[in-house]
Structure 1
Amino acid sequence: MADVNVGQYNTLKVDRKVDFGFYLDDGKEGILLPKRFAPHGLKKGDEIAVFVYHDSDNRLVATTQKPLAVVGEIVMLKAVSVTKMGAFLDWGLMKDLFVAKSQQLGGMREGMTYLVKLYLDDMTGRVAATEKIESQLSNETLTVKEKDIVELLVYRQSELGWVMIINNTHLGLLHNSEVFTTLHAGDKHTGFVKAVLPGNKIDVVIGKPGFQKVEDESDKVLRLLRENNGYLPYHDKSDPQEIYDFFGMSKKTFKMTTGTLYKQRKIQFTQTGIKLLEN
């Protein structure tokens, strides 16, 4: 008997073919994979990875389309229609995603985008979404530690910086002093845990930790030097934003990286920039 997770990707076996598609084995009557979503050459006995959700008639249906998010994930989605009962969001599938009025923070408007979390509704078993994200996040028991690489989602701005959602589970803070590019709610970044503070407060940084980051950035600096005839007009007095715009790194990282390259005798500092040393 197949174990089917609604709102997730499942690998299911083709049970039988019909004129309008294929029924996939779920241990019951089968889940329909409509013909238009079936790959060419699919046949009985084959296994196929599909996303499973409910159609407009509340029947389980499978698709090879990829939604913008699965159950448990937080994502920015656009409202395509609004009713008295709630709003419908475009999540990349034929059937739009429902957000009940009770799960909205301040009312949704058609054409606007909203940060929501996908969940399975207890009453209907259907995939639904909620704007009430913060109550589902907790730092009481942490699943991360200092220097861990994490997935960061930009949540909201605060006086100290940007509140970030960590691995769809915790809240952390990206301090203003660590922001070197324009951020928007819903943006996704890879980062790391810089510090775990008393009360399980978490400071995070976009990028990779320590010298692992420097090593990666070293290759970038050397490549950019080669692409620009061995010279770049950037140094420790350059404007931080100019450095970020060109290299995609903070001024602190730039100084650490060029310092490492200088010690390795791969570059030379000049009065106006950095110069590649050919070995």
Structure 2
Amino acid sequence: MQLGDFNDLEVAREVDFGMYLTSDDGDLLLPRKYIPEGTRVGDVVRVFVYRDSEDRLIATNLEPFVRVGQFAALTVRDVTSTGAFLDWGLEKDLLLPYSNLRRNLRPGERATVFVYLDDASDRIVASAKWEWFLSDTPYPGKVGDAAELFIAEETDLGYKVIVDGTHQGLLYHNEVFKPLRLGDVHTGYVRQIRPDGKLDLNLQRIGYDEALAAAELLLEALRQAGGTLPIGDKSEPDDIYRRVGMSKKVFKKALGTLYKRGQVQLEPEQTRLVTSE
């Protein structure tokens, strides 16, 4: 049986408050509220196994936000002298021990963590020192390759990302043309493999024109806004970034591209889709 993951277990017996499932580690309870309708003794059910508040093995058919061996961005529910407690989609919050914190956290804040099984306590815990759990082998890809990017942390330079679940990379602020949130997963492209093994990345394929990429994002933002955005080429940079997540320089390139296509009408403080849109 895999603690902190899904298991296919047989129903051994039924009691008033649920069903007991059999496993190599002994029987464990599937509370009645999590029993699929029509389940009988002898059936095999797929359940997630973790420990309850009294450290007893317990099963649920709820889907947690993260499993053992995975990275996730989770919301802090509470902070105590023991550590932070994170919402991971189950009744019992996930412990981020004090020793695994990188900095002080506040309730409501999101933090990127790696979830693992602590060998000493046999408990599922999280670590905010997620870099420790990345691969120390050379990145197997090459410049120009597509990769899955997990947004892990924002810094002064840009966004630290986890690349393909194994390596660390960076998206520089001046190359990001849309809002990013911790835990988002995007397709990106390897721009450079540094001597230290870390990666520089782009959200656009290398060689793809920056203006074309930004134009498509701006066009989608206009459509979602009903055809009009209260920003134009005379708007303040902060207003532009807040609305569409791009710098004023990139925004003006996008405007120019859409204008040449005849897709927008330009005003100093406003941009409209043409009626044909």
TM-score w.r.t. length of structure 1: 0.70
AA aligned to 2:150 is L
Residues 33-182 of structure 1: pairs in structure 2 closer than 5 A: 33-71=30-68, 72-78=70-76, 80-83=78-81, 86-91=82-87, 92-105=89-102, 111=107, 113=109, 114-138=111-135, 140-142=137-139, 145=142, 146-158=144-156, 160-179=157-176
* AA aligned opposite 1:175: Y
Q: Secondary structure at the match of 2:220?
A: helix
Shift of 1:218: 7.8
- Name the residue aligned to 2:220: 220
**Count of residues in correspondence between the two structures:** 266
- Are the equivalent residues in 2 in contact too, given 1:52–1:60 (CA < 8 A)? yes
- Kindly state the Cα deviation for residue 236 of structure 1 after the two structures are TM-superposed: 6.2
Q: CA deviation at 1:119?
A: 0.6
Offset at 1:190? 2.0
Q: CA deviation at 1:174?
A: 1.9
Distance in 1 between the 2:8 and 2:204 partners? 34
Residue 222 and residue 117 in structure 1: after superposition, are their counterparts in 2 closer, same or farther (change >3 A)? closer
Hey, what does 1:8 align to over in structure 2?
A: 5
The partner residue of 1:198 within 194, 202, 224 is 194
Percent of counterpart pairs with the same letter? 29
How far is the alpha carbon of 1:62 from its aligned partner? 0.7
Note the aligned Cα RMSD (angstroms): 4.1
CA distance in 2, matches of 1:222, 1:64: 41
SS at match of 1:124: coil
Matched residue type, 2:73: V
Deviations 1:71-109 (A, max 9, x none): 2223344263534xx325133433333344443445x57
Q: 1:221 to 1:65 in 2, by over 3 A?
A: closer
Deviations 1:31-80 (A, max 9, x none): 32111222333334555442211234443211123334222223344263
Letter in 1 for 2:100: Q
Greater displacement, 36-45 / 235-244: 235-244
Counterpart of 2:170, as a letter, is L
Compared CA separation, residues 105 and 220, structure 1 to 2 (3 A): closer
Partner secondary structure for residue 58 of structure 2: strand
- CA shift, 1:269, in A, is 6.0
Whether the aligned pair in 2 keeps the contact of 1:139 and 1:171 (CA below 8 Å) is no
| 1:64 counterpart letter in structure 2 | N
Structure 1 residue runs without a partner (length 5+): none
1:264-275 alignment runs, 5 A limit: 267=263
List runs of 5+ in structure 2 lacking aligned partners.
none
Give TM-score scaled by structure 2 length: 0.71
For the 8 Å contact 2:188–2:202, the answer to whether it is kept is yes
